[in-house]
Amino acid sequence: MSGGIEVLLGANGGYLIGFIFLSYFIKDLSKISVIGTTIAYFTCIYIPGLIGLAIYFYFNQGILLSISQLLMMGLIPFIIGDIIKIIAASSLAKVFKI
């Protein structure tokens, strides 16, 4: 089992930092539209996540990934599931007026 700084310096570290950014804006996200929430979610989570993934591969594997490789590894496989979760969470927030 690993934890602490090892996780933050690993391939998932940027995404974890992105969740910290997202938690700062989460109260404001419930007041905007589903499309605005989706854009804010992807911005807060995936930009630091993809940067962290690129840094991980560069320093640990010695590989400089292209933008298309980075997107295929860290974004494209997760878009559909994330959009479904965002729509569900936004709809519930509107119903319960959080």
pTM: 0.80
Dist. CA 25–CA 44, nearest whole Å: 9
Dist. CA 76–CA 84, nearest whole Å: 14
Give the tens place of pLDDT for each residue, 5-50.
777 778 888 888 898 888 888 777 667 777 887 888 888 899 999 9
Structure tokens at 15: 């995404």
Dist. CA 1–CA 32, nearest whole Å: 39
